[in-house]
Structure 1
Amino acid sequence: MASSSSSSCIYEVFLNFRGEDTRRIFTCHLYDDLYDKKKIKTFMDDEKLRRGDEISDALLNAIQGSKISVVIFSTDYASSKWCLNELVKILECKHTNGQIIIPVFYGVSPSDVRHQTGIFKHGFDQLEQQFKDKPEMVQKWRDTLTETSQIAGHESTKFSNDAQLVNKIVEDVLKKLEKITVSTDSSNGLVGLNSRIEQIKPFLCMDLSDTVQIVGIWGMGGIGKTTLAEAIFDQFSGEFDGKYFAKNVWRKSETEGGLEDLQKEMLSTILSEKLEVAGPNIPLFTKGRVRRMKALIVLDDVNKDEQLEGLIGGLDQYGPGSRIVVTTRDKRVLEKFGVEKEKIYRVNGLKFDEAFEHFCNFAVKENHCPEDLYQHSWRVVWYANGNPLVLKVLGSSLYLKRKSHWENVLDDLNRICESDIHGIYDILKISFNELTRKEKSMFLDIACFLEGEDKDFVTRILDDSGSHRLDVLVDKSLITVSYSRLQMHDLLQEMGREIVRQESEEELGRRSRLWDPKEIRHVLKHNM
């Protein structure tokens, strides 16, 4: 079963079906293809969730939190009040928030579903008799069946076997999910993302299916490299046999296991099976399978060419049509690995009008600024120099604050930019300095130890006010919560760790936190 998310969309696909008709002969295969093979977050219920007359909270949340519902009409579908009640809710979600519905007519015709006739009639007649004292409910079910069956879908009779039908449905789901992703011009709230996607498309050469291409995305920290790489991955991953996205490569490469563990994870993900070996120990048979696969690989935040060599080696290791995307702050990493100059895309800062809109989205929760704050906003945007992360963090810190607070922040920005040595950390630290002592402590704990941990786990190990402090950090854009896990931008994490290092640059044991195994061993060895 797919895992839930803290965001508004918990699942990408919800499967609505009559279990006795299709669970073991069709729906389970569709689920396997969607969730196990294509890694699409898919909800397929079990019988334990269907008890009593009402839809359970788990089912209700799954329906409301899905982008797409695949409705599988079968011969006995209409005899199930649970199927029909789910369908009523699905159609309601279509009307209220634009949820996409994909009907599948498995062994029944759209006309029979629309009019409750033919082979579909028997089941509905049984249900109508059972609920003859509730004519309004029965009519609601009729209207819902009629409306849903008029949506273009897939008919099993038009395919020679179920495998072809499953492939077609999966293809349809992928295309619709890609369209949803692309139509949103602000993954993580980044204004101007679509224009960047269009600029980098020629670098990818997606029309060349016989060659392997490697593309570099280069730019300063916080400029939007990861967001752009994620958007590319979301838009094009459906066109590949295997796909893999690795975040924070340089940091993971320095942990115990390092590149070898990353390579295991990468190959296991691409091949959809768990591998226990990596590096020179990979069997020739496994290498041969990878060479026959068209793969999309994104390696995010690489800082040494050795990391690329250790993870992907030569491009001849991957099948024709494969694409490898690498993000880095250091252009020389790409050049040393042999990435062609024409294949390196530089991510520049936002244009001023884009930066102004991006800032306003967080500072005033609108894409335009109130007149009384216009000059102040203009100055903040100018200081941020088009860096999306800086704009987001500063904007979030100013939301609902008095004008006098804005002026204090501007004074800090002016002082930072007038000094001989200043940088992005100093600007980001303005937001950190506004936190309470306990909020600062939590921020540093996450930066040093808890990034990537489950939110509920972190809340449990903190005191009673821990949940509130987490909310403060989220509101200030210092952390995010994705699929119930705490995430922190690598630049903010580096800033937090640097704050701890500066507590005592020489004596490691005097620092409030230690996270590096080498430093921990050093302190234990010399303080025993």
Structure 2
Amino acid sequence: MASSSSSATPEFDVYLSCAEDTRKGMVSHLYRSLSQRGITTYTRDDKLEKRASSPDSEFSDQWKYTIDAKVSVVVVSKSYLASAWCLNELQTILNFLDIGRLLVLPIFYGVDPSNVKNQTGEVEEPFRKLGEKYPEKDQAWRMSLIDVSNLFPRIWSGEAELVEAITKRVEVLLRYSDKSSNPRGTYPLTTKVNGLFGMDRQMLALYKLLDLNSNEEVRLIGICGPGGVGKTTLAKLAYEDMSKHFHAHVFVDNAKNIYQQDPDESQETFTSGKIQRWSQKRTRDVSTGVIKSTVGHRKVLLVIDSVDSMEQLKDIADIVGWCGSRSRVILVTQDKNLLDNFDVKHVYEVNSLRYDEALQLFSQSAFKETNPPTSFESLSLRAVQIASFLPLTLKILGSFLQGKDEEGWEKELQKLEGGQEKTIAEIRKKCFTRVNEEDQILSFILP
């Protein structure tokens, strides 16, 4: 039985989570294909499933100790949604995903992921009956189905080329999970986030809110948190990763740069390649009219950074009205109250890094290594505390201390130890001497 410790090395490469209707057919072929490629794989048989007398039985509760793999392929079928065993197992798999112990590849076999997500269509009746039998589990299961439906779903109804396609995808996931640059093994994104510790976790959480499969007319998403916590970095990474899914895309550096167009101003339109060049760059002093001509009732990704007033939101509301169906508008701000007042229902609050992430980020900046040298360990721990786990401050402080000896570190850290606001201001004062501080900060954020 595998240890529940996050540091334990999984014994297997792949765990196949499935129901009885796919286990003896497609899943058995997939098992054979993976094994032939040298991918160690395991699954559960019918006897084990029938031993669970209820979804909360002592046996089924042991799942949290027995998911012993790097990747879980979850084959969601009609029978899967009628099985208390499978849905309990899905909860555990998603919990392991959340803490970075497992990659998850969902395969929707003979069911539509939108129906799975909303418990409608072909899955409505079997899931309803199961929920009536176990009402105490109904809400938790519904949340798990929403989560798994948001994980880059793949829809399959036949077996032609299916097994080979899944096998190749698993091979890619295993290569990703083995990279030292991604020790927690979260779901791979298009954008490379090497050196941006914690961003893989943040990106996954943001993707759930963005829900690219939703048919919602225009979805507003808020990113909020204190200064220096990584809001702009997260927004920029998401923008670069997702822009290919939209007809047009715009990133506005600062909401203050949006101004109402003068009636006499020439109506500049952006078409073909000109839109592409303009929308991929950070914009300055852009009019609402120019943005409207770009979005033009199309499916658009619009990111507006540094929102800090209701007046700005009024201009933004005017622009949002021009966005087409399935557009995504991301607002970045330090003030969560603004998002609440603007009725933004999908909000992600960016918190400080975890201890391990903060130490790795600081060490990367100070030593170009993911861990500090032994002689600098205690000094590095002090530096992380001084920087309050804030990504920008960690990178600035690490860069400032780079190349100094232990005595130099001690001298500088003693000067900085004190109140957080004073510390951050002092660090920036030491590190930035040019007039245009904003561009220097961005160079630290986006290496």
TM-score, with length taken from structure 1: 0.42
Structure number with greater Rg is 1
Which protein is richer in helix relative to its size?
A: 1
| TM norm structure 2 | 0.49
